[in-house]
């Protein structure tokens, strides 16, 4: 994309790009990356980002898959700038283009049946090369063609590949040159009258005035054929940039095996949009440094084709999870209040917590725990003790902190009394009680802190104890301590 002139493009809004998924399944990370890169590129140059649903494969395309794509893009905030184009509605345009090529001599009718072609393929000398159509029908005389037509014989329309070579500059891979001798006379319209992908994609991109095609590497071998098709139709071809594969951590092509799931599942699992945009935005593209964090606006401001790496990009779910945790850690309660409320309701419905907390309670728990969770829902899973008395205690913890010392019960009882007397059950007062008693009893503060934590949360680790107790509030803390004392009394070996 050497000739891209930023200023010119910015002022003239010439950039028109598209994401062109086939609606045959889920919207995966690879598709999302293609969509995002197109979107960033378009927005960077003040251009338009379009969506074309390539739904000509009737058997494999489904309305559900279309919905998944539209919803996925909406969730990511990258819905197209214009109404989506449905390829299936443009079949007449594709047919008209094939006929135009027939008329201008760039294409020809092929009456060969698949069986005839298969036979000739079998009879062809075996070598490593792919069998190419032998141009049998290119040699037919006008009379022979006329005869076949009046006989109602079905025919496909094939592009007549010219001599010479096709050369283009790929924005990612640089100069690419292919000899036309290696290109088959590709079918444009099938014998049943339906257009092939190769014809449809070129006609649609031309009609949609697409200026740049940014898509997966798997289409790089289609590009020379498409360029020939543009030429035959008398169109200037767009510029191309092919994105390298996305790999799993084992450097193999990313697949379900790696846990690679659809964007819908990432949404359902609780990944934030910011996380997905950030992570996928840096998947095979970099602004020239090795940062981990980038936001949508920075991606738009900085995006350029030259920052796309030509080698495969590794998708690492662990890192994605970590990044989500970072976003949650840096977010404020207000950013996610609504979503948190929904998670609280569902945690209550599932018996994970004992009641539906009000927003003050949720905010308190958020402030205490959001630096320690990877997903919003974890506030009510990992942090369920904020809203539910422990029903059991960490087993190792009980050995270490409940049963290790004969004085545990005695100390907890005194602390219960101390806490009861506190007028302000705040961090300072709680800490003061604990420090004072630890000095008085000549035991480390840990000797009090660990059993208190275990008694109040059932766990051995978590946020700062004083903060946690304050947020739990006096009544809850005392109830939990009393329950723990009873539990220790019952379970202590005599
Ligand atoms: N529909 C094609 C796919 O899903 C993309 C075609 C293109 O981008 O040219 O792989």
Backbone φ and ψ for 240, nearest 5 degrees, come out as -125, 145
CB distance 37 to 171 below 8 Å: no
Per-residue pLDDT at 127: 66
Around ligand 1, the residues with Cβ closer than 6 Å are 20-22, 54, 201, 215, 219
How far is the C-alpha of 136 from the C-alpha of 91, rounded, in Å?
27
CB distance 49 to 80 below 8 Å: yes
How far is the C-alpha of 4 from the C-alpha of 16, rounded, in Å?
13
| Nearest 10 degrees: Cα torsion 218, 224, 229, 232 | 170
Q: Which of 272, 368, 261, 289 is nearest to 326 (CA)?
A: 272
CB distance 120 to 87 below 8 Å: no
Among 17, 201, 220, the mutation site with the greatest number of ligand 1 atoms within 8 A of its Cβ is: 201
Would you write out the chain's pLDDT as a tens digit for each of its 494 residues?
Answer: 544 444 344 444 489 999 999 999 899 999 999 999 999 999 999 999 999 999 998 889 999 999 999 999 999 999 999 999 999 999 999 999 999 999 999 999 999 999 999 999 888 877 656 789 999 999 999 999 999 999 999 999 999 999 999 999 999 999 999 999 999 999 999 999 999 999 999 999 999 999 999 999 999 999 999 999 999 999 999 999 999 999 998 888 888 777 767 899 999 999 999 999 999 999 999 999 999 999 999 999 999 999 999 999 999 999 999 999 999 999 999 999 999 999 999 999 999 999 999 999 999 999 999 999 999 999 999 999 999 999 999 999 999 999 998 899 999 999 999 999 999 999 999 999 999 999 999 999 999 999 999 999 999 999 999 999 999 999 999 999 999 999 999 998 75
How far is the C-alpha of 403 from the C-alpha of 385, rounded, in Å?
22
Per-residue pLDDT at 261: 72
| Ligand 1 centroid to residue 22 C-alpha, Å | 7
How far is the C-alpha of 145 from the C-alpha of 151, rounded, in Å?
10
| Ligand 1 centroid to residue 210 C-alpha, Å | 14
Per-residue pLDDT at 128: 53
Residue the block writes with tokens 């219960």: 416
Ligand 1 atom closest to the Cα of residue 215 is 8
- Find the catalytic residue in 67, 119, 256, 492: 256
Residue 447 catalytic? no
Per-residue pLDDT at 10: 44
Which residue has a Cα nearest atom 6 of ligand 1?
A: 20
Backbone φ and ψ for 308, nearest 5 degrees, come out as -80, 130
How far is the C-alpha of 7 from the C-alpha of 171, rounded, in Å?
19
How far is the C-alpha of 344 from the C-alpha of 482, rounded, in Å?
27
């Amino acid at each position: 994309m050497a000739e891209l002139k930023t200023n010119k493009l910015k002022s003239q809004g010439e950039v028109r790009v598209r994401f062109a998924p086939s609606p045959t399944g889920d919207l995966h990370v690879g598709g999302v990356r293609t969509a995002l890169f197109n979107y960033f590129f378009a927005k960077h140059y003040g251009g338009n980002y379009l969506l074309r649903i390539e739904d000509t494969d009737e058997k494999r395309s489904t309305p559900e898959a279309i919905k998944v794509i539209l919803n996925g893009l909406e969730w990511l905030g990258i819905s197209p700038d214009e109404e989506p184009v449905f390829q299936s509605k443009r079949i007449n345009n594709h047919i008209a283009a094939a006929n135009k090529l027939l008329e201008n001599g760039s294409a020809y009718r092929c009456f060969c049946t698949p069986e005839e072609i298969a036979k000739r393929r079998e009879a062809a000398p075996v070598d490593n090369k792919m069998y190419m159509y032998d141009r049998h029908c290119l040699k037919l005389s006008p009379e022979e063609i006329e005869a076949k037509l009046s006989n109602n014989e079905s025919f496909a329309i094939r592009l007549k590949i010219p001599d010479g070579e096709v050369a283009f500059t790929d924005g990612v891979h640089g100069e690419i040159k292919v000899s036309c001798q290696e290109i088959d006379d590709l079918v444009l319209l099938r014998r049943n009258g339906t257009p092939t992908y190769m014809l449809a994609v070129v006609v649609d991109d031309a009609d949609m005035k697409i200026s740049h095609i940014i898509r997966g590497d798997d289409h790089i071998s289609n590009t020379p054929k498409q360029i020939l098709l543009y030429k035959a139709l008398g169109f200037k071809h767009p510029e191309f940039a092919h994105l390298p594969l996305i790999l799993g951590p084992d450097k193999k092509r990313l697949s379900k095996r790696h846990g690679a799931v659809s964007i819908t599942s990432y949404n359902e699992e609780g990944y934030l949009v910011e996380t997905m945009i950030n992570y996928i935005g840096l998947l095979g593209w970099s602004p020239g440094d090795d940062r981990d964090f980038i936001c949508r606006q920075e991606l738009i401001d900085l995006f350029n084709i030259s920052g796309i790496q030509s080698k495969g990009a590794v998708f690492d779910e662990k890192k994605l999870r970590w990044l989500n945790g970072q976003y949650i850690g840096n977010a404020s309660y207000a950013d996610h209040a609504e979503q948190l409320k929904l998670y609280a309701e569902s945690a209550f419905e599932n018996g994970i917590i004992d009641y539906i907390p009000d927003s003050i309670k949720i905010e308190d728990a958020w402030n205490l725990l959001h630096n320690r969770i990877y997903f919003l829902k974890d506030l009510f899973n990992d942090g369920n003790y904020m809203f539910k008395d422990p029903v059991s205690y960490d087993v190792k913890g009980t050995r270490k902190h409940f049963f290790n010392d004969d004085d545990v019960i005695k100390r907890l009882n005194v602390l219960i009394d101390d806490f009861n007397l506190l007028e302000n059950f705040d961090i300072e007062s709680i800490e003061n009680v604990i420090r004072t008693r630890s000095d008085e009893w000549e035991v480390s503060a840990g000797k009090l802190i660990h059993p208190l934590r275990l008694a109040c949360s059932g766990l051995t680790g978590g946020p700062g104890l004083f903060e946690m107790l304050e947020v739990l509030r006096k009544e809850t803390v005392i109830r939990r301590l009393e329950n723990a004392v009873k539990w220790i009394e019952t379970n202590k070996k005599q």
